[in-house]
Chain A
């Protein structure tokens, strides 16, 4: 790479402005999406302070009238109004999707780290960890959810203190299911990353008198977890989408709501396009968020030789 700077070519300047326009659009879309979600949720929690609970934030009739007046998209005005009409249900379902994903991911992480550490550094525990990971990764997630819900009826064991948090206890069953399953996948990503921490790092830690566990905690994990971020983001993204399986144990999350509305109205195509776009927006948010985290915690020189 030549060190000298040269004036940007026209093409580069166009590309640059394209990028910034693209970024602006993405940010605007993200703000609109999350603004709509958060306002919808808050409205529901506060018992309908803005609009009656269950009503869309803007009247569908007004949307239809406005769009109908614009030539070219007038044909879609009725569809748009329909989407606005079902938006409260979508927002409601998305809340559970977000909560289930976030809770499972975070709790799963704290299970995954010990799993990965024992897998790499343990003796007997390495086998236990391996068995757990293979069992959970090797059987269908849906089957696991069915065992927890229909087989073990886990929902009936939810303690009273937790039982009021969600409208139905089956949400807890889903969180447990995704936590246990996600932990296995997260453990695999984290294991790979901590295995790539150089042996010399551990030797140096032991040489100043840190115990094996202390060395893992103060030296290996801070490096390994940073290495793990890009692949760990995959699990985050997968989990957002896999959480739709909760619908099959009757958790009223996004997919469940969509399916319900679709079977009532028979507008499958439109509803699942809207649902798909909602999942896409969640996924994009997750990967942007993790990009931010990655650059926030990056350390000069750490992992640069691994990147390409």
Chain B
């Protein structure tokens, strides 16, 4: 690892009203790294993820992306978001647009590509996620796995320097999870920088450079997967991993 500090999350805290949901969360990742956030539901993983592209607003701390302060009030969030892609648990595909339409919207309207260029880029990204035969299908005509792959293509089409995955397989039927993970594996191999919230422990173990275990809005423990899975330092981490394992 080159330790270029591509993403530096430092002491991030967030409150919803009186309730503090993130307590001084800190972690770093380098370009090309895969960091997986794990933890029980309600532990603040998704909220942390959303703070990175400002879909959620952190009230304290610092998030440096490529040296720029994400939390700065002067930052144009739309500029930030064109560089940080996001894949959602519920896919959130634009229901009125075809697969190509979904993927092309960002390049066309945010990046300002021509209609033809945006379509070409969308088709290329759909090919990349194995949906070369579904260009003109509407979301409702696709399976969950296919929808999520469109979701990934949509994020990729913006040529992001960081991809955020918010439980990308949690809403999928078990038999459809594999195709999505396969696409994500491919991205890892291509060197994409990815911050992933997931319950897929075998995936985390296989591809993560670092695992961050969050509980109750706090980083309980972080480290390389081998260390975290084999020799967790904290009792809570061990308990959580055992509980997850017994479900698999």
Does B55 make an interface contact (CB < 8 A)? Answer: yes
Chosen A-B contacts, 13 in total, with CB atoms closer than 8 Å, are: A198-B92, A198-B95, A200-B90, A203-B88, A204-B88, A207-B55, A207-B85, A209-B82, A209-B158, A218-B105, A299-B95, A299-B96, A302-B96
Question: Is the pair A206, B96 in contact by a Cβ cutoff of 8 Å?
Answer: no
Does A219 make an interface contact (CB < 8 A)? Answer: yes
Q: How far is the CB of A201 from chain B (nearest CB, A)?
A: 6
Interface mask (B65-98 → A, CB under 8 Å = 1, otherwise 0): 0000000000001111110011010101111100
**Interface residues on chain B, size class:** 20 to 34
Q: Of A200, A222, A299, A300, which is within 8 A of B88 by CB?
A: A200
Q: How far is the CA of A121 from the CA of B161 in the complex (A)?
A: 31
Does A301 make an interface contact (CB < 8 A)? Answer: yes
Question: Is the pair B110, A209 in contact by a Cβ cutoff of 8 Å?
Answer: yes
Interface mask (A14-40 → B, CB under 8 Å = 1, otherwise 0): 000000000000000000000000000
A residues whose Cβ falls under 8 Å from a Cβ of B? 198, 200-201, 203-211, 214, 218-219, 222-223, 226, 299-302, 304
Does B106 make an interface contact (CB < 8 A)? Answer: yes
Question: How many A-B residue contacts, CB cutoff 8 Å?
Answer: 75
Question: For residue B155, which residues in chain A have a CB less than 8 angstroms away from its CB?
Answer: 208
Does B138 make an interface contact (CB < 8 A)? Answer: yes
Question: Is the pair B94, A300 in contact by a Cβ cutoff of 8 Å?
Answer: no
Q: Of A201, A206, A226, A299, which is within 8 A of B55 by CB?
A: A206
Question: Is the pair A205, B138 in contact by a Cβ cutoff of 8 Å?
Answer: no
Question: For residue A206, which residues in chain B have a CB less than 8 angstroms away from its CB?
Answer: 55, 77, 81
Does B193 make an interface contact (CB < 8 A)? Answer: no
Question: For residue A304, which residues in chain B have a CB less than 8 angstroms away from its CB?
Answer: 140
Q: How far is the CA of A198 from the CA of B93 in the complex (A)?
A: 11
Question: Is the pair A214, B109 in contact by a Cβ cutoff of 8 Å?
Answer: yes
Q: Which residue of B lies closest to A297 (CB)?
A: B96
Question: Is the pair B53, A223 in contact by a Cβ cutoff of 8 Å?
Answer: no
A209 and B78 in contact, given A200-B88, A218-B109, A304-B140 (Cβ under 8 angstroms): yes
A226 and B96 in contact, given A208-B105, A211-B78 (Cβ under 8 angstroms): yes
Question: For residue B78, which residues in chain A have a CB less than 8 angstroms away from its CB?
Answer: 209-211
Q: Of B82, B93, B138, B140, which is within 8 A of A204 by CB?
A: B93
Q: How far is the CA of A203 from the CA of B154 in the complex (A)?
A: 14
Which of the listed residues B95, B110, B139, B141 has the most CB atoms from chain A within 10 Å of its own CB? Answer: B95
